[in-house]
Amino acid sequence: MHSYGQGARGLAVAEIRAILAHLGLLPVDRTGEMAEFDDATGVAVRTFQQSRGLNVDGLVGEETWRALDAARWTLGDRTLFLAMPDSMTGDDVRQLQDRLLEMGFDVGRADGIFGQRTAHAVARFQREVGLPSDGAYGPQTMAALRRLGPKVVGGHAQALREAERFRHAGPTLVGKTIVIDPGHGGSDLGVVVRDGLLRWTEADLAYDVATRLEGRLGAAGMRVYLTRGPRPTAAIDDRQRAKLANDLNADLLLSIHLDGNDSQAAHGVATYHYGTSDGVVSTVGERLAGLVQREIVARTSLQDCRTHAKSWDLLRLTRMPAVRVDLAYLTSPVDRERLVQAAFRDRLVEAMIAAVQRMYFPIEQDVKTGSIDVSTLRAAQPTGAR
């Protein structure tokens, strides 16, 4: 999709401005095909991006457009049903999913996509209330859902389900599945820094960290998958990476990135988990993000840039707790001097392994940050093995 920014004109800009006006971020615009992406539009886009946990750049690219398109719908505006091959998406779908979760119907994560799982949940609800179970959310189903109160109490339904799965999983890493996602790849190198004849790329360093993590977690007994190889022939977007993790029925996803900034003074580590402006959050993902952040800061003394909730596709579309960690700023001379050392990358890996292990400890049996000796985490050898 073409990216729209300052100075752009035309019908696409008119539609962007119309949605922003519908959301109360701009006055109503009637200029039609002569609509201009002006300063006020840029401010409104940034405000929208901030509220949705997106990258705040003031540009309407593919991910921001999808979020804008979803935001135009409120539950009750239209009939919802399972459409093929392109599923219906929107804020109204997510509101329906949240409501079904409150009623005790499992739709997975409320991702705003009306897929098979949501249609099945609607059909089960319809059967319970004596309606034809066609799996579509129309006027009768809408009225029935409005009449009934939530069945799940004590917290957000999806958060309770996530926490309960981890409570029953047991403390060992053996047999659990993790997907490690080295960011970028192929023609997409991410952040690139040149210093004389030397060149460092985010894609290559992220892949190196991912393979080190793969080996160590595999030795601890986990089933480990990478979302890409060292030189993929085609770009892999976040939706494809999320689909791979979902197809593998992974227990966790950990995405590895580096950061960059025009200012060389920007430095440190930040970690991201799924969350929205209206309070929907992956509580288990939030806990994993906190553990990863604290372990890295404790073991490396990198600047703590904290954890943040985002609704990026990779975090929103995965059905398991997912975290993205930006390990350091490749554009910072201080961070870069450490990143290019293999021993330092090993320390980053050890921190992430410790965080993954702590995820499976019951909260009441958790240990002090930085105290786990990850060299002792090994899968049990079969009897007689050498």
Q: What is the pTM of this model?
A: 0.80
Separation of alpha carbons 154 and 83, rounded Å: 34
Q: Which two tokens stand for residue 222?
A: 């986990």
Contact 288, 363 (CB under 8 A): no
Summarize pLDDT for 323-350 with one digit per residue, the tens: 999 999 999 999 999 999 999 999 999 9
Q: Model confidence over 143-164: pLDDT tens digits?
A: 998 887 655 444 455 555 666 6
Please state the domain count of the chain: 3
197 found inside a domain: yes
* Residue 133 within any structural domain of the chain: yes
Mind listing the pLDDT tens digit for each residue in 32-48? 778 899 999 999 999 99
pLDDT of 385 reads: 39
pLDDT at 322 over 90: yes
List strands edge to edge, sheet with 177-182.
223-226, 177-182, 252-259, 322-329, 269-274, 304-310
140 and 203 within one domain: no
* Judgement on whether residues 43 and 100 belong to the same structural domain of the protein: no
**Does one domain contain both 176 and 48?**
no
Fill in the amino acid letter for 97: Q
Question: What tens digit of pLDDT does each residue of 299-319 get?
Answer: 999 999 999 999 899 998 998
Phi, psi of 2 (to 5 degrees): -65, 140
pLDDT of 147: 83
Confidence of residue 99 (pLDDT cuts 50, 70, 90): confident
Q: What share of the chain is helix, strand, coil (3-state, %, to 5)?
A: 45, 15, 40
Q: Does the structure show a pLDDT above 80 at 222?
A: yes
Residue 347 falls inside a structural domain: yes
| pLDDT single digits (tens) 227-250 | 999 887 778 899 999 999 999 999
- Report if residue 315 sits inside a domain: yes
**Per-residue pLDDT at 164:** 64
Q: What is the CATH number of the domain that holds 52?
A: 1.10.101
Tokens of 241: 């990476």
Residues 348 and 207 in one domain: yes
Spatial neighbors of 190 by CB under 8 A, at least 6 apart, are 183, 184, 201, 202, 203, 206, 257, 258, 260
Token pair, residue 106, equals 């499992």
Same structural domain, 210 and 272: yes
Higher-scoring residue by pLDDT: 119, 52:
119
Query: Which of these three, 153, 176, 197, is where a domain ends?
Result: 153
Residue 383's pLDDT band (cuts 50, 70, 90): very low
Residues 53 and 142 in one domain: no
My answer on whether 300 and 210 are in the same domain is yes
> What gap in Å lies between CA 14 and CA 33, rounded to an integer?
6
**Same domain assignment for residues 299 and 201:** yes
Q: Kindly report the CATH number assigned to the domain that includes residue 119.
A: 1.10.101.10
Pairing of strands 88-89, 113-114: antiparallel
Closest CA to 205 of 191, 195, 216: 191
100/55 same-domain check? no
Has residue 78 been placed in a domain? Answer: no
Residue 3 forms part of a structural domain: no
- Asked whether residue 313 is domain-assigned, the answer is yes
Q: Give tens-digit pLDDT for 153-208.
A: 444 555 556 666 666 677 889 999 999 999 999 889 999 999 888 899 999 999 99
Final residue before a domain boundary, out of 108, 125, 153: 153
In a domain, 28, yes or no: yes
Widest CA span in the chain: 79
Tell me, what amino acid is at 68? Answer: L
CATH number at residue 164: 3.40.630.40
Residues 302 and 211 in one domain: yes
* Domain end call among 131, 153, 175: 153
Element (H, E) at 225: strand 223-226
Q: Is the domain of 266 the same as that of 309? A: yes
Residues 238 and 216 in one domain: yes
Which residues span the domain enclosing 145? Answer: 88-153
Nearest to 249 by CA among 194, 349, 343, 178: 178
Long-range contacts of the stretch 12-20 (C-beta < 8 A, 24+): 13/37, 13/41, 16/41, 16/45, 16/60, 16/65, 16/68, 17/41, 19/68, 19/69, 19/71, 19/72, 20/44, 20/45, 20/48, 20/68
Q: Given a cut of 80, is residue 384 above it in pLDDT?
A: no
